[in-house]
Structure 1
Amino acid sequence: MADHPLSSSGLTLDQVEIDLGTRRLVTLDRRIGPGEVLTVMGDSGSGKSSLLDFIAGFLDPAFRARGRIWLDGTEITSLPPQERKVGLMFQAPLLFPHMSVGENLLFGLDRIKDQGREQRRVLAEDALSDVGLAGFFGRDPATLSGGQQTRIALMRLLLAEPGALLLDEPFSSLDQSRRSDLRNLVFSKAREKGLPVLLVTHDPDDADAAGGDVIRL
């Protein structure tokens, strides 16, 4: 690797290998710089989601993984998931159904200890306005469209201030007319915040929209 992980910002996958039984699924040695997107493509069962699980700290014990993960110069390989500062977006938005839209966003902001609830509410309202959903604070998530739910899930994730963004085919459940707009929103927000992004997908259009390097498993 050209840059030593200790001196590199962004997300570094240092000689990462993931096996299932005798089958090698993933071999990856890459750095994703701030604001960059690396797309990993492959069919179902190729190891795409397992790679994200390893980075986030959720890899099933049935898999065997080697290598190290660095985020902004800090090794996170052995840290518990809640301390890794990586944000995950899945195919489904996974909003909390017992919370309003605003409460879902405040959940992401609860980690910010030096701000009162009113200050956090202002941040949540601003986030809603930022994605064209002003006035949705009190709405029930069940009343929203799939695209609206995905926008809320994105802003909840960004409000938690992750150091990297992991995308597990988050656009696949959307219809074609909304998919392009949501792709552009996600990637533009990641660039704006200088987040390294790892996208796994089987859709070539996702890779084209991401605009970065593509690896095929």
Structure 2
Amino acid sequence: MTGLRLENIVLARGGEPLIAVEAHVAPGEVLSVMGPSGSGKSTLLAAVIGTLPPAFTMTGRVVLNGRDVTALPPEARKIGILYQDELLFPHLSVGGNLAFALPRALRGRKARRARIEAALDEIGMTGFADRDPATLSGGQKARVALMRMLLAEPQALLLDEPFSRLDAALRDQIRALVFARARDRGLPVLLVTHDRADAEAAGGPVIAL
């Protein structure tokens, strides 16, 4: 079955159950997980991507497009993630940040440069390849972070409140861009948020913790 399946996921800390989730996120669909700070939202994303801290234990399975990825390291899971902070590399140009994510199979400087230029065109940032990330606006940084993640060709996308630090007008714009790109690529999306407007914009099912 295509999409992202969370099969009987139970997260515990010190033997005490924290959250239990059973869900299927179809390609292009956004599943929103809502709850207050400390409810386990980010811990759930860590479990899905494979970075669960040692203090927590997990039972159940994470299955992506029919492949059980539960025991795989993060880099082998083909799952991308966006955080509140853009986490762009300050020592690299915008183009260098994007190049970092390009698949190794894409060889040749000319081909890689063309792919970067096309990616910048797609997010309305034509000609920004040589810019220092420090000179970008908040919205531009968010767009570069999104495209860097997409260039790695993930098969699912996790969103850890990536819109929460943007002002209202920019939040709507970036949110629409992220959801549209995920739909275009048929990516199942798992969004954690405490903002009901995020869940409403996502338009998919909602789990409340």
- TM-score w.r.t. length of structure 1: 0.94
Where does residue 3 of structure 1 map in the other structure? none
Match of 2:184 among 164, 181, 192: 192
Amino acid paired to 2:82: M
Structure 1 residue identity aligned to 2:152:
A
Q: Which of residues 144, 152, 166 is equivalent to 1:174?
A: 166
Partner AA of 1:11 in structure 2: L
2:146 is the alignment partner of 1:158:
no
* 1:127 paired residue number: 119
Deviation at 1:29, TM superposition (A): 1.0
CA distance in structure 2 between the partners assigned to 1:126 and 1:214 by the alignment: 34
Q: Which residue of 2 aligns with 1:117?
A: 109
Distance in 1, matches of 2:161 and 2:5, equals 21
- Cα RMSD (Å): 0.9
The AA in structure 1 aligned to 2:74 is: P
Q: Is 2:185 the partner of 1:208?
A: no
**1:104 — aligned with what?**
97
Residue-pair matches, total: 209
Check whether the contact 2:2–2:64 (CA below 8 A) recurs between aligned residues: yes
The one-letter amino acid paired with 2:167 is: D
Other structure's SS at 1:206 match: helix
Partner of 2:69: 76
Q: Deviations over 1:34-92 (max 9, x none)?
A: 10110000111100000000011100010111100111111000001110000010000
Distance in 1, matches of 2:65 and 2:107, equals: 25
Shift of 1:114: 4.1
Cα deviation, residue 118, structure 1: 1.3
Q: Give the TM-score of the pair, scaled to structure 2.
A: 0.98
